Amino acid sequence: MNNIKRINYLASLMFALTIAASCKKDFLDQPPQSSVTASTFYKTDDQVMAGTSLLYSKVWFDYNDKAMYNLGDFRGGTAFSAWNDRGNVLFNTTGDNGENGASWRAFFNVVAQSNLTIYNINTYSGGGVSPQVKKTAIAEARFMRALAYRFLVMNWGPVPIIENNLDVLFDTSIRRNTVTSVWRFITREMRAAAEDLPNTPSQEGRLTKWSAEGMLARFYLTRAGVEGTGGARKQQFLDSAKYYSQRVITMSGRSLLPNYANLFKYPYDNNVESLFELQWVFSGPNVWGTNNSMPEYLAYNPDISFGGWGGDKGATWWLMSQYDGFVLQPNGTLKGRTLDQRLQATFMLPGFLYNEITKVSDRTKLIYPATGTDNNFLAVKKYVIGSPIDLAGIASQQHYPNNTYMMRLAEQYMIYVEASMGSSGTTSDATAIEYFNKVHTRAGLPPYEVAGPNGSGPLTLDKLFTERFKEFAMEGMSWYDLVSLHYWNPSKAFSILNSQDRGLFFTAPDQMPNPTQWTITKTSWFSERTIIANEGNFLLPIPNAELSQAPNLQQPAVDYP
């Protein structure tokens, strides 16, 4: 618990005010402060906004570094690592697991820094700060705190709600709060943020009302299951999810990028589809915490990156089976190809060409090679933006400039569709089908039809989940989709998880170059293929280091006021 509560006041203040001296996001480009204390800062509009700027990057660094895909994709089954991070891949994460502890600390760091920002602004902002700037800055911090608690409650269940770390600085008796009351708290916080954030960003990349309303749509869709009864979701919250998602779709001014792959070709930052991104900058090789380190862990080797440690990471067999065109054969292999353009933008199959990535070894454009004899990896492409040649001058090892999506407009379309399904798991609603097809056809697939000669009947929850898994793979989403499902239909969530093949396989193209299809064969000697997810291991255990500091975290949870 020491990591949650005992925030050194001055160190935290300096953390919030130490700004990268050179970066491409204007609102992060602030002069460094010297001899700063809380009582002398927060005196002007510029200082207040500078005080919230690193809520968009540095406080989320540990989440972005590894927790995003470790939890969101490895636990969710859309991607796997064959030799590393196996606790989340195999659902046997323990209280001593390093990534578990790092993830817990990452989210509580966001909470603590958001709390400190609110405290400092309320305590020290003077007459030189306009009421609107003060209101906006506090709304930004409340937004970040609410989002961090969304991650906490969905990964660990009951967690302690802390609104002022200074109040509990030496309190070792703090207890967890119930899941229902955590969701009640974060919904209230996000509604307040939506009221106070501007309709348009004060600076490129900053939060808006639509960022918060998009999160409210996400929150209410999940909360409908949290407070559902008898296997049915709460209709009031489903209606709220539809209401907010449609407002964002029709009023935010956001739109889908026509080409899905362009979402992840640098520079894509803060494009018309984005509702909220973590804002990363290349601020030099000696600055840590404001650069994006994640691409290094995903790139499959140094030929396309500065380090390239992602050689054992890639799509799961199960996810490949979700792509239209890959058909299970009688001999147990998957064979075929897909029209779905999202696959090439997310994972690398042998023969895929990437014109935006230059190989360091021979200065040619990357054609992902066909390697191995009985196992290889469909390496991660998403967030891998180029080699040192492509990024000369704006990147170095573990220091990349590309942003991380936290919410895109595509999700709002999917939320509306799922809220329309309610607890029945199907919909023929015309608007819902239209919204589904916005995302589906953007991927290069034919529109879904309910009726007519090509009709497939009502759109189902299974079809929607398949769409979400493919649309948001490697964006840290699939696990949270399954947690949301588990709130109201745990047996279905377990069924999906326990059906996933997370083992090694070999992908062979029919020819190189320019393959026309691939055959995917499971590696016979690899035994750790599936998991057994149940109520006992579904959520992560609280890290042992935290339990030793605050043993009351093991006591039954209590409601939060």
Tens of pLDDT, residues 72-87: 999 999 999 999 999 9
Please enumerate in sequence order all residues whose Cβ is within 8 A of that of 556, keeping only pairs 6 or more positions apart, or say none: none
Cα–chain center distance at 122:
30
Give the CA diameter of the chain.
75
Alpha-carbon gap, residue 445 to 460, rounded angstroms = 17
Please enumerate in sequence order all residues whose Cβ is within 8 A of that of 334, keeping only pairs 6 or more positions apart, or say none: 317, 320, 321, 326, 327, 328, 519, 520
**Token output for 362:** 């021979």
Pick the CATH number of 1-292+401-500 from 1.10.260.40, 3.30.1490.20, 3.40.50.1370, 1.25.40.390: 1.25.40.390
The pairing of strands 505-509 and 274-278 is unpaired
Cα–chain center distance at 262:
18
Quickly list DSSP for 228-245.
-BTTB--HHHHHHHHHHH
Question: Three-state DSSP class for 357?
Answer: strand
First to last CA, the chain: 21
Cα atoms found within 13 Å of the Cα of residue 108, Cβ hemisphere only: 23
Alpha-carbon gap, residue 336 to 344, rounded angstroms = 14
Quickly list DSSP for 190-232.
HHHHHHHS-SS-SSTT---HHHHHHHHHHHHHHHHHHT-BTTB
Other C-beta atoms closer than 10 Å to the C-beta of 475 total 23
Domain ranges of the chain: 1-292+401-500
**Token output for 41:** 């800062």
**Token output for 18:** 């130490």
| Crossing angle between the packed helical segments 409-421 and 430-442, to the nearest 10 degrees | 140
- pLDDT truncated to tens, each residue of the chain (561 aa)? 333 333 333 334 444 443 333 334 554 444 344 445 677 889 999 999 999 999 999 999 999 999 999 999 999 999 999 999 999 999 999 999 988 999 999 999 999 999 999 999 999 998 999 999 999 999 999 999 999 999 999 999 999 999 998 888 777 788 999 999 999 999 999 999 999 999 999 999 999 999 999 999 999 999 999 999 999 999 999 999 999 999 999 999 999 999 999 999 999 999 999 999 999 999 888 889 999 999 999 999 999 999 999 999 999 999 999 999 999 999 999 999 999 999 999 999 999 999 999 999 999 999 999 999 999 999 999 999 999 999 988 999 999 999 999 999 999 999 999 999 999 999 999 999 999 999 999 999 999 999 999 999 999 999 999 999 999 999 999 999 999 999 999 999 999 999 999 999 999 999 999 999 999 999 999 999 999 999 999 999 999 999 998 899 999 999 998
Would you say 444 and 470 are in contact if contact means Cβ atoms under 8 Å apart?
Answer: no
Structural Rg of the chain based on CA atoms: 23
Question: Three-state DSSP class for 456?
Answer: coil
Question: What residue type is 460 in one-letter code?
Answer: T
